[in-house]
Every structure is written in structure tokens, then in C-alpha cells.
Amino acid sequence: MNTVKIKKEITEKRAKYHHGDLRTALVQAADEIIAEGGIEAFSLRAAAKRAGVSPGAPAHHFGCVKGLLTEVALLAFERLGQCIEDVGHSEDTAADIRALSLAFVTFVLNHPGHFRLMFRNDLVDRSDPRYFQVSVKSGIRLDRAVAAYHGKSEADLNQFEDAADIFCGMATLYGMANLILEEKAAHFFQDVASRDFVERELPKVLEHLYPSKDRT
Amino acid sequence: MNTVKIKKEITEKRAKYHHGDLRTALVQAADEIIAEGGIEAFSLRAAAKRAGVSPGAPAHHFGCVKGLLTEVALLAFERLGQCIEDVGHSEDTAADIRALSLAFVTFVLNHPGHFRLMFRNDLVDRSDPRYFQVSVKSGIRLDRAVAAYHGKSEADLNQFEDAADIFCGMATLYGMANLILEEKAAHFFQDVASRDFVERELPKVLEHLYPSKDRT
DNA sequence: AGATAAATATGAACACTGTCAAGATTAAAA
DNA sequence: TTTTAATCTTGACAGTGTTCATATTTATCT
């Protein structure tokens, strides 16, 4: 009967021996850790502790650390996709590109830890089919906008020159986000990683790169 | 006298107790490890072992692991700078940009481990004054080329619009190198990380981005 | 319902990692 | 030559991811 008492105490303290939905609890814990302290702060054991579970538990749900981090990255991509979706459509294709790019860079500045994770080959299993799915989903709007800016439809994308345009657009945006976040552009602009700066100056830069066309 | 004998044997086996120039030996060891297996293969202890020295030795020469990796990164930047310098000058500014970009991407593909290290804030001490020095040195040629392409001299760089041009140029190049190396552009082009592909297609892409001007 | 099978979490172990302090060894300076 | 300073070793510490036998709970079948 004594053992029963002890069991009950334990039960009250930590819900149950079987967590119920440990998998999503671990993903959430990892997600929070990365949001708060970046990948530096993350460890499999820290996530386990945060979920109130033993250090060996995660291995049963995710094969290894990459599995868990992949889930977090997918989550982040979905959020990015939402931010992109929330951008309104306009008739000025250059303005569309500006708005989408601003949304992207804003996401990066708001979620630096996640952004640094999302594209890391060593931490995320990019061969997971869901990765392709979700990364395309969050990039397709920019693809279309750039294609439209160059007067092409989405159907033309197999044509080399249109693919090249879109490739450049993606590269530029990704590069700008990187330079801004990691403050590698400090000798171009000051306060380059501040949100104010980005909202003020990024549209100008993009206006330069994709000039609005005269519609007489 | 027995101990003397043993001492001598040890002496013959590993040169001397005092290595002589352990600092550069460790940098070289780390450099080789990263060249062979990337950052994944690197560890402070592995570098120490490769240099034939005890695991605690590096701490005396570099405060911590970041110190050693910073040296390797600086080395890599110097090599990059050399590759950039080796690119000839032409009168066609667009062709200059193409040649410089090709040299950069080629370096990235030839030294993937180093490239992945060079811009990592968590592994390299970018506040080291030598970092700024050497990174500017390897970027200035592209700066000038882009400025010249837009018909500006280097003196104009404080002007916002010229800084924006150069910022975009840097971002695009950095982004392209990333997309190509990490094969994030696979749904644009195939075999995107092969050297053949880059030499064949990258100039086309850049010709698109920086069209050669008619000089009638 | 009761016994059996499957899923799930624990806890200890293993081989790593970077960092540190005490002591041994060598080189340089007095 | 003796003393001082620099250099390297050794052993320890806390931390990491991963694995495995064991304990516990849930689900399934008779």
C-alpha cells in the first residue's frame, strides 16, 4: 500500500508515465528553445528536460537529433509560408516583389534562430519529402512575382531564361536576408539589422533592383 | 640511467616536448581537417591529435575553439582573395562581374568546408580586426566592378544608390553561391553543384542579370 | 474480465566534446 | 648556472547524442 501511495504522488507530479503526446510536446519544447536562444541553446537533453521527460526518451520518437530539428524547421517553414500568404496582391508586379521581400526579411529578423536552422544541411533532413513541399510553398509567390515582373507566365518556367530570372531573385533575397541578419552589410549601411531600417531602406533597394515600370 | 633511455626514446618518437611552432601546426592541422571533412570532422581534440600533441595543448595558444577556427577562416579568406586577384581585368564591366563571380563560386565549390566556416558567426570571431581587413580585401574587386558597371567611381560609394547597387551585387553573389553549393536550386537546374554546370550556366545567368552594354 | 502483446519511458552506460587547473618539462634570461 | 617564464601533459569536470536492458503503461486478443 505504501508503494501505491508513492505511485500516486508521482502520478500527480508528472501527469503520467506515458506522456500522452510526447512527440508534439518535444517539438514544441525544441521550438521554444530555438525561439528563445537559437540553435546554440538547443540540445536534445534540454528539449527532453523542458518536456519533463528523461534524456533518452526523444530517441524513440525521432531517430536522432536531426529528426526533431527537422520537425521544428518544417514548422518554421509553415509559419513563413503564412507570412508570405498574408501579403496582399497588387497590380504593380514590382510592388509585389517589394512586399514579398519585405515580408521575408521581416520574418527572418523576427525569427533569427529558426531562419538559421531552416537551411542548415547538417541539422535538418532536407531529403524529407515534406521539406520540399513546404519550402516550395513558401517560395512560390516570389517565383510568380518575379516571373510576372519579367512578363512571363508560370508555365514558362522550364525555359532557361525565366528559370535564371527566378534563380537570381531567390539568390538575391536569400543573400540580402543573410547579410542583414548577420550584419555582414555593416559597411554599406548602419543599424542594418534593425527592423526600422529594413522597413525604411529595403523597399528603396528593391525599387532599384526591380524598378516599377511606367504604365502610361 | 634507465629513465634516461626512456626519455631518449620518447624524444625520438615525437620530436620534442616543446613542439617549436605548435600554433601554426595546429592551424595547419585544423585547416587540413576542414578541407577533408568539413566542420563536421573538426574538433579541437582531433586537431591536437593530428598535430601530435595532447588534447589540452591548444588552449594555451588559442583561448578557445573559436580562436583556432578564426585563424583557419582568415587563411581561407586570404586564399579567396588570391583567387579574386588572379582574375584579369577587362574593359567590359559586365564581363568583369561575370569573371569575378565565377571565380568566387568556383572557390566555394572547391572549398565547401571552408566556405561554410567563413561566414559562421558562432564559429568565427568576426570582431577580430583582421577579419574585416581580409573580407574587404576579397570583396573590393566585386564592389568596384559593380560600381563601374553602373557608371560610378569608387568615390561615390557613400551615395545611397550606389551602396544599394553594391549591396545587391554582394547579396546576389553570396546567395547564388549558397544555393548552388547546398543544392537549394535543384528545382531550377539539375547538377547545379557540379563545376561543369557552373562554368557553363553561371555566365549565362549573370549575362541576364548584368547585360553587356552596347558599345557602338 | 484476464492474459498477452505492443508501445512507451526510464536510467545507466558509452564515447565523444571543450575547458580548466596542477604538475612536469623545456627554453630563455639573469 | 640558477632562476624565471613559456610550453606541454595529465587528469578531471560537465556537457553532448546515442544505445540498451528494464520498468511501466496501454492496447489487443481470447
| A179 at interface of B, judged by CB pairs closer than 8 A | yes
- The full 3-state SS of chain A, as one line of letters, equals CHHHHHHHHHHHHCCCCCCCCHHHHHHHHHHHHHHHHHHHHCCHHHHHHHCCCCCCCHHHHCCCHHHHHHHHHHHHHHHHHHHHHCCCCCCCHHHHHHHHHHHHHHHHHHCHHHHHHHCCCCCCCCCCHHHHHHHHHHHHHHHHHHHHHCCCCHHHHHCHHHHHHHHHHHHHHHHHHHHHHCCCCCCCCCCCCCHHHHHHHHHHHHHHHCCCCCCC
Mean pLDDT of chain B: 88
- What's the DSSP call for residue B106? H
Q: How many domains does chain B have?
A: 2
Answer with the residue of higher pLDDT: B7 or B131: B131
Indicate if A30 and A115 belong to the same structural domain.
no
Q: Is residue A174 a part of any domain in this protein?
A: yes
| B106 at interface of A, judged by CB pairs closer than 8 A | no
CB-nearest partner of B175 from A132, A175, A188: A175
CATH number reported for the structural domain that contains residue A180 in this entry = 1.10.357.10
Q: Is residue B39 a part of any domain in this protein?
A: yes
pLDDT, tens digit, for every residue of B143-173? 999 999 988 877 776 777 778 888 999 999 9
- Domain of residue B12: give its range: 1-63
**Does the structure show a pLDDT above 60 at B108?**
yes
Indicate if A58 and A80 belong to the same structural domain.
no
Question: What does the pLDDT average to over B63-84?
Answer: 98
Strand D: which nucleotides have any atom within 7 A of a protein Cβ?
7-12, 15-21, 24-26
Determine the Cα–Cα distance for residues B30 and B14; give it in Å rounded to an integer: 19
Indicate if B136 and B108 belong to the same structural domain.
yes
B window 36-65, beta carbon within 8 A of A: 40
Indicate if B202 and B177 belong to the same structural domain.
yes
pLDDT band at B15, cuts 50/70/90? low
pLDDT band at B208, cuts 50/70/90? confident
**Does the structure show a pLDDT above 50 at B5?**
no
Q: Is residue A216 a part of any domain in this protein?
A: no
CATH number reported for the structural domain that contains residue B33 in this entry = 1.10.10
pLDDT recorded at residue B214: 63
pLDDT recorded at residue A13: 40
**Does the structure show a pLDDT above 50 at B179?**
yes
pLDDT recorded at residue A214: 63
Q: Is residue B216 a part of any domain in this protein?
A: no
Give the nearest nucleotide to B65, CA to C1'.
Answer: C18
CB-nearest partner of B182 from A121, A165, A172: A121
Answer with the residue of higher pLDDT: B105 or B197: B105
pLDDT, tens digit, for every residue of B27-52? 999 999 999 999 999 999 999 999 99
Give the nearest nucleotide to A52, CA to C1'.
Answer: C9
A window 133-162, beta carbon within 8 A of B: 136, 160-161
Indicate if A9 and A79 belong to the same structural domain.
no
Answer with the residue of higher pLDDT: B206 or A4: B206
Q: How many CB pairs under 8 A join A and B?
A: 92
State which residues of chain A have pLDDT below 50: 1-14, 216
Among chain A residues, the shortest Cα distance to B135 is held by A184
Indicate if A13 and A46 belong to the same structural domain.
yes
Residues 6+ apart with CB under 8 A from B91: none
Helices A93-110, A65-85: inter-axial angle, 10-degree rounding: 140
Residue A61, CB, strand D, below 7 Å: no
User: Of A29, A47, A63, which closes a domain?
Assistant: A63
Indicate if B20 and B77 belong to the same structural domain.
no
Q: Is residue B150 a part of any domain in this protein?
A: yes
Determine the Cα–Cα distance for residues B159 and A53; give it in Å rounded to an integer: 57
The pTM (predicted TM-score) of the whole model is 0.90
pLDDT recorded at residue B159: 73
Strand C: which nucleotides have any atom within 7 A of a protein Cβ?
8-13, 16-22, 25-27
Indicate if A77 and A160 belong to the same structural domain.
yes
Indicate if A5 and A76 belong to the same structural domain.
no
Q: Is residue B133 a part of any domain in this protein?
A: yes
Q: Is residue A204 a part of any domain in this protein?
A: yes
User: Of B63, B84, B113, which closes a domain?
Assistant: B63
Indicate if A14 and A47 belong to the same structural domain.
yes
Indicate if B77 and B57 belong to the same structural domain.
no
**Does the structure show a pLDDT above 90 at B10?**
no
Which residues of B spanning 29-88 put their CB closer than 7 angstroms to strand C?
A: 42-46, 55-56, 59, 63-66
pLDDT recorded at residue B14: 45
**Does the structure show a pLDDT above 60 at B65?**
yes
8 Å CB contact of B189 and A136: no
Q: Is residue B11 a part of any domain in this protein?
A: yes
Indicate if A57 and A72 belong to the same structural domain.
no
Q: Is A43 exposed, middle or buried (0-12, 13-18, 19+ CB in 10 A)?
A: middle
